[in-house]
């Protein structure tokens, strides 16, 4: 499959159409189911994923499809659309406008093209490997050096993993000691897009799924951000429970603040 900004822009058109469906239903009564503890799905999630499947399958007919709600659909291919129809479902269901649609096109599990759209504001992020990252059609520059003490760090609570509460809060205390402040959007895709845009300087979370971050990783790569696992090595999509990303200039102190509490936890034999 040939990657291009043109393909990314075609995906963006699809996401804008799906976003209109979401805005029509936003802050209205929803049919909601619980997939697990604090893990919700609405009929809007399902309808939007079906719409994405139908439209993206035309753009990349030889690619497989992996979505949050229905899992894998058709095709044994090295290429795969990895899709979150509403990243930030809890926000969406509570009437909070911080939610997004995230689509990543991966080759052998490596995100190569990504598009993330925030319907409520119309903010659009897209990137294609080797062709730059864009926010609202404006090319994002390479990240400029920034110290950890100047940084605004985003994170995700381990809301589905009670055993990670203590490591998370220990790590958070260390970040607050070293950084300027912390924020949580409730949509990992948006958090990472804001890292790529230079609004946030770093992000970490545990137990993310591939569809949470596949759409944003290409943007991070195009602006020079690092994405690491718990060992401080390049993150491989879907492998390991720990994910950290950020501006290269502060990754060492950021990683040093966050990782020890998780390393200590996982070394006890916890999974």
* 196-217 confidence digits (pLDDT tens): 999 999 999 999 999 999 999 9
**Domains of the chain and CATH, by start:** 5-139 (3.30.540.10), 148-266 (3.40.190.80)
Tens digit of pLDDT for each residue in 144-167? 999 999 999 999 999 888 999 999
- The per-residue pLDDT of the chain, averaged, comes to 92
Please say whether the beta carbons of 211 and 64 come within 8 A: no
Q: What pLDDT score was predicted for residue 271?
A: 46
Mean predicted confidence (pLDDT) in 25-29: 85
* Percent of the chain residues topping a pLDDT of 70: 93
Place of tokens 């490997």: 129
Mean predicted confidence (pLDDT) in 173-198: 98
Nearest to 245 by CA among 269, 219, 268: 219
Mean predicted confidence (pLDDT) in 99-116: 97
Place of tokens 């393909």: 7
Handedness of CA 11, 9, 92, 179 (dihedral sign): positive
Mean predicted confidence (pLDDT) in 17-45: 77
Q: What pLDDT score was predicted for residue 39?
A: 54
Tens digit of pLDDT for each residue in 54-105? 999 999 878 999 998 788 876 668 999 999 999 999 999 999 999 999 999 9
Helix (H) or strand (E) holding 169: helix 165-178
Please say whether the beta carbons of 66 and 81 come within 8 A: yes
Distance CA 65, CA 56 (A): 9
- pLDDT surpassing 70 at residue 254: yes
Joined together, the tokens standing for residue 70 give 């229905």
- What ranges in 99-234 are assigned the alpha helix state H? 165-178, 188-196, 210-213, 217-222
Q: Which residue has the higher pLDDT, 171 or 60?
A: 171
Please say whether the beta carbons of 1 and 79 come within 8 A: yes
How close are the terminal C-alpha atoms of the chain, in Å? Answer: 37
Taking the CA atoms of residue 172, residue 226, residue 149 and residue 190 in that order, the dihedral angle to the nearest 10 degrees is -60
Q: What pLDDT score was predicted for residue 88?
A: 94
Q: What pLDDT score was predicted for residue 36?
A: 56
pLDDT band for position 231 (cuts 50, 70, 90): very high
């Amino acid at each position: 499959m040939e990657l291009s900004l043109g393909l990314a822009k075609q995906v963006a058109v699809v996401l804008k159409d799906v976003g209109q469906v979401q805005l029509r239903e936003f802050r209205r009564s929803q049919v909601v189911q619980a997939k697990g503890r604090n893990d919700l799905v609405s009929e809007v999630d399902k309808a939007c994923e079906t719409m994405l499947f139908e439209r993206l399958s035309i753009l990349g007919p030889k690619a497989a499809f992996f979505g949050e709600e229905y899992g894998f659909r058709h095709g044994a291919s090295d290429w795969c659309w990895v899709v979150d129809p509403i990243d930030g479902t809890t926000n969406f269901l509570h009437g909070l406008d911080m939610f997004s649609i995230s689509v990543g096109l991966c080759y052998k599990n490596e995100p190569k093209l990504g598009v993330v759209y925030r319907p409520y504001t119309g903010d659009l992020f897209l990137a294609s490997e080797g062709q730059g990252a864009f926010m609202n059609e404006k090319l994002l520059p390479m990240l400029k050096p920034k110290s950890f003490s100047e940084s605004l760090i985003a994170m995700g609570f381990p809301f589905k993993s009670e055993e990670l509460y203590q490591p998370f809060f220990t790590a958070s205390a260390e970040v607050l000691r070293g950084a300027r402040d912390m924020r949580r959007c409730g949509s990992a895709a948006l958090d990472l897009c804001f890292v790529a845009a230079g609004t946030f300087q770093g992000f970490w979370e545990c137990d993310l799924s591939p569809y949470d971050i596949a759409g944003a990783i290409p943007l991070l790569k195009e602006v020079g951000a690092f994405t690491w696992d718990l060992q401080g090595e390049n993150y491989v999509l879907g492998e390991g429970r720990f994910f950290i990303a950020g501006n290269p200039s502060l990754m060492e102190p950021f990683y040093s603040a966050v990782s020890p509490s998780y390393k200590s936890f996982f070394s006890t034999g916890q999974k």
